[in-house]
Structure 1
Amino acid sequence: MAVEYRCCETDFFIHILIIVLLVVFAGLMSGLTLGLMSMSLVDLEVLAKSGTPKDRQHAAKILPVVKRQHLLLCTLLICNAAAMEALPIFLDSLVTAWGAILISVTLILLFGEIIPQSVFLVWICFPVAYPISKLLDFLLGHGHVALFRRAELKTLVNLHGNEIYDPSVGRLLGWKRWRN
């Protein structure tokens, strides 16, 4: 398709707004994919049952969404792909076809993938984060251990203490079901 709109027409600004929204939406989906898919279900369950009141509230909201991990992943990836595929369609009416492809790939790569996920935060935070991380390595060592308060540890033990591994079915069974 050829260039349809010229600068300073109403449709031109509408297309620019849609393009910006698509790039922001793709970045949001990319960031949500990284953030939500990296959450541990066990940690969320422990927080939902024995964390601080605010942690309980937040975990209770997130847990139903994160529990259905495959549905969540598919939804986020489909939305991200739809935004990335729609972008050249709107760009095509403003620039030539090769320009639409070049601009859409650049925008999505920079603002929809790389920047939301890592590079921007690393560049901005590196001067402060690196010395602090080295200080923590020196003071605490390199290992990472999950620390739970007494109530959280009790909840974690209760969650997993009533389960037993059954090799015949290759999974954990509830204690009552195993005894019968």
Structure 2
Amino acid sequence: MATQPIETRMSAGLIEEMLLVIFLVLLGGVFAGLTLGLMGLDETNLHVLSQTGTETEKKNAKKVMSLLSKGRHWVLVTLLLSNVVVNETLPIILHDAIGGGWQAVAISTALIVIFGEVIPQSICVRYGLAIGAKTANMVLIFMYLMYPVAYPTAMLLDYFLGQSHGTVYKKAGLKTLVSLHQAVNPTDADALTLDEVTIISAVLDLRSKAVSTIMTPIDDVFTLSTEDILNEDVVDKILSHGYSRIPVHVPDDPVNFVGMLIAKHLITYDPEDAQPVKDLQLSTLPETGPDTSCLDILNFFQEGKSHMVLVSTNPGAQNGAIGVITLEDVIEELIGEEIVDETDVYVDVHNKIRVIRRQTGVRRGSSRLTRMLTLHHRNSQLNTKAPTIDKSTTAKVAVDSSTKAYGATTIDDRQDSPNETQPLLHQHSHPTSN
């Protein structure tokens, strides 16, 4: 058998060494990229992606979570140790390939920095989840290969540093995080709207907010005495205030409450009977301290026992009442906005901001309907036949979704102008049925 020329043997050895150098550079790049890519994945974010991501993201997140669940420090030590072994081996191979000392160090340094660190880490930072999922099995093999050294080192890190459980935000951080997800473009259906951000922030503050900060002061509460006579004037007064629950106190002691009157109990009551309040059915008025959290009061309201609570500095005693809090007050704090119903006089009782309802758009139609209903009522009293209302003239009031259904101003004596051109309520007629 003929002997190969020495040039051929040297050329074949050089090619093998160069291929080995390329392999080591790529392998070192994989280890360096995975070190940054896998360790940069937050466990909390992985849980979120595994539940709400796309099908590909769910699959990748579960693979990476399965790998990291064996020990983040074990994975970290394995990747770092493997990268060090590769980077230390590379100059030795280059020394044999090119036959020089400092040249091997310079070339290996350039290859490691460019192709083994910068480029792989840049890619893995952007696509860390996908790359980590595809190389999970390979990393697991190296974890068991490096087990004698990597696992004990990881155990020491767990002992001194503790295990990582992902990022968990406190309330202040969570509120900031939510606000950062507010939609910049109103057409983005997946982003949070301003109302959603406001509601979430208000919910997070509910437990730390005391009832004394949102209650209605006792001086602003409409109350009745047990000796008040429910004649027409008092019933009209109750109706004009529009409250569904009225605290009742003992005579000559406006801070000693014995219960509350439910306004709907007066539906069947005849004011001509002129009975005192004490003769009517009174409901229990629970009491609580001023430091009770709004969340605790909300939980109490959910039990259905009462939707009004008396706030007192001395609960259970005959004095100390400083205000009342209702379910509506808590809901307003829950959504971060004021709720104004059809009977409210004030938007803000504390600052005496009155409700201004601008309904000029339905004034003419509503007044016609009112006249027809009044005529119907009068004819019914005279036992005459009621007039028939044509369906084509029946009015329906629709709220403009782009505006509020009420307006508020600090000018209490403001009147609706007949020349308003942008009413908040619009009138629509029922289409005539065929």
Report TM bin, short chain: 0.5 to 0.7
Q: TM-score if structure 1 supplies the norm length? A: 0.59
Structure 2 segments unaligned to the other structure (5+ residues): 1-5, 126-178, 184-189, 191-434
Answer whether contact 1:24 1:112 (CA < 8 A) is retained.
Answer: yes
Say whether residues 1:91 and 2:112 are aligned partners: no
| CA deviation after TM superposition for structure 1 residue 24, in Å | 0.8
Say whether residues 1:112 and 2:116 are aligned partners: yes
Say whether residues 1:36 and 2:22 are aligned partners: no
Equivalenced residue count is 123
Q: Which has the higher helix share?
A: 1
- Partner Cα separation in structure 2 for residue 146 and residue 35 of structure 1: 28
- Partner Cα separation in structure 2 for residue 93 and residue 6 of structure 1: 16
**Cα pair distance change 1:87/1:65, threshold 3 Å:** same
Q: Which has the higher strand share?
A: 2
Answer whether contact 2:24 2:86 (CA < 8 A) is retained.
Answer: yes
**Cα pair distance change 1:116/1:52, threshold 3 Å:** closer
Partner deviation per Cα, 1:27-47 (whole Å, 9 max, x = no partner): 111111111111110111122
Which residue identity does 1:88 align to in structure 2?
P
Query: What does 1:44-123 correspond to in 2, within 5 Å?
Result: 44-67=46-69, 68-95=71-98, 96-118=100-122
| CA deviation after TM superposition for structure 1 residue 76, in Å | 0.9
Q: TM-score if structure 2 supplies the norm length? A: 0.26
- Partner Cα separation in structure 2 for residue 30 and residue 79 of structure 1: 9
- Partner Cα separation in structure 1 for residue 180 and residue 49 of structure 2: 19
Match of 1:10 in 2: 12
**Cα pair distance change 1:22/1:6, threshold 3 Å:** farther
Higher relative contact order (CA 8 A, sep 6+): 1
**Cα pair distance change 1:52/1:114, threshold 3 Å:** closer
Identity of aligned pairs, percent? 34
**Larger radius of gyration between Structure 1 and Structure 2:** 2
Match of 2:259 in 1: none
Structure 1 segments unaligned to the other structure (5+ residues): 122-142, 150-180
**Cα pair distance change 1:11/1:46, threshold 3 Å:** same
Answer whether contact 2:33 2:122 (CA < 8 A) is retained.
Answer: no
- Partner Cα separation in structure 2 for residue 30 and residue 37 of structure 1: 11
